[in-house]
Amino acid sequence: MRFILGCILIVLCSPLFAAEWEKVTDNLAKKEKAGFGGLCGITIDHSNGHIYVNISDKGIYRSKDQGSSFSLFSNEVKGRTEWPGCMMFDPTGKTKKLITALVYGSSILLGDDEGKKWKLLDKKSSHIDWCAINWIDLDSTFILAFKHESNGMLLLSNDGGQSFSELGKGYSSAWVFDNKTAVAVQAKTKEQSDPKMMRTTDSGKTWTPAANFTTPALPQWKEGKLYWIVDGGVIITTANKGQTWNKLCETKEGKFGPVFGKSSSHMLVLGKNGILESVDEGKTWNTAIQLPAELKGWSSLTWLDYDPINDIIYVMKMGSELFRMKRKN
């Protein structure tokens, strides 16, 4: 393993976004008679800026006009999302594949931006916080899924989700690179005081330590590299499927991200005290953008996404409204 020391957090004078948050959804969940959790997830199609939100027990709703209006996209995805990243589009940009993991409701679903045809995975993949699939393969066979409230239980599938087996407890997050290679981060617990990032190259049959990092956050993919915020707010990267990791920079307070703009140089990170922005891949960071007062600070269920087409930040947490902030003119 080799680590390259990255840059230290440098705070600049002011954020590049407007000072005011705008409420977008305006009681959408209440109007649609949502189940517990209300508005419980968001993802942005970064190719066109379309917003997709999950309304608990009602389905996914879409806006094509930056949140001015929403309409039902699919009512097949019924249940509740919770964990940031459990609903996402193909981050490679090569397909329009959309994946959704639900903590309550149906099992994992795979669909696309049309929402007309969904693949429902095995019933063992219900009650799931998130899942990791091989985005490169349209018929991904290797899948990892994290069981909700099950002491870090990681599930494994090698048949495209037709069946799942228990890999073991004590995990927190993971990523699948291809149908043989993946990394899974162990959680720090009383029984596991020295957690590792574990790596497999044989579809999960065997695992070996790859790095000494731990984090509950899910990683982010951009332009052939995987970026991961680990405990302590450090962003690490790999370009060789997790074989080696580089320390890119320190954010000190980063909890989720980075969420990217049009290139990997533009990064947004959700921190304890707001949203940090860098336009030089973490070399310098702007003053934190404070979260909407209605969110009452950061929590593990706070979602952040960004529309690079229209230059808009979106933020919410389970049960809140959706808020947006546009770039200053």
Confidence (pLDDT) at 190: 87
Answer whether residue 4 shows pLDDT above 80.
Answer: no
Instruction: Please list, residue by residue across 135-152, b when 16 or more beta carbons sit within 10 angstroms of its beta carbon and e when fewer do.
Output: beeeebbbbbbbbbeeeb
Confidence of residue 19 (pLDDT cuts 50, 70, 90): low
Q: pLDDT at position 2, please? A: 44
The residue ranges of every structural domain in the chain are 23-218+297-326
Q: How many CA atoms lie within 13 A of 111 on its CB side?
A: 22
Query: 248: part of which helix (H) or strand (E)?
Result: strand 246-250
Positive or negative torsion for Cα 292, 297, 302, 304:
positive
* pLDDT tens per residue, range 218-252: 999 999 999 999 998 999 999 999 999 999 999 98
Distance CA 15, CA 94 (A): 32
Report which of 256, 267, 268, 263 is spatially closest to residue 230, judged by C-alpha positions.
256
Instruction: Give yes or no for residue 138 having a pLDDT over 80.
Output: no
Confidence of residue 61 (pLDDT cuts 50, 70, 90): very high
Tokens coding 219? 């990683």
- Edge-to-edge order in the sheet of strand 267-271: 254-260, 267-271, 274-278
pLDDT value of residue 5: 42
How many C-beta neighbours within 10 Å does residue 216 have?
20
pLDDT digits (tens, 9 = 90+) for 77-134: 889 999 999 999 999 988 889 999 999 999 999 988 787 788 999 999 999 999 999 9
12 — pLDDT class (breaks 50, 70, 90): very low
> Can you tell me the distance from the alpha carbon of 237 to that of 33, in angstroms, rounded to the nearest whole number?
42
Residue 271: CA count within 13 A, CB half-sphere: 24
Q: Are 41 and 303 in contact (CB under 8 A)?
A: yes
CATH of domain 23-218+297-326: 2.120.10
Provide the terminal-to-terminal Cα distance of the chain, rounded to the nearest Å: 45
Q: How many residues does the chain have?
A: 329
pLDDT digit string (tens) for 256-300? 999 999 999 999 999 988 999 999 999 999 888 999 999 999 999
pLDDT digits (tens, 9 = 90+) for 154-212: 999 999 999 999 999 999 999 999 999 999 999 988 889 999 999 999 999 999 999 99
SS3 28: helix
- pTM confidence score: 0.91
From CA 118, how far away is CA 116, in angstroms rounded? 7
Contact 34, 277 (CB under 8 A): no
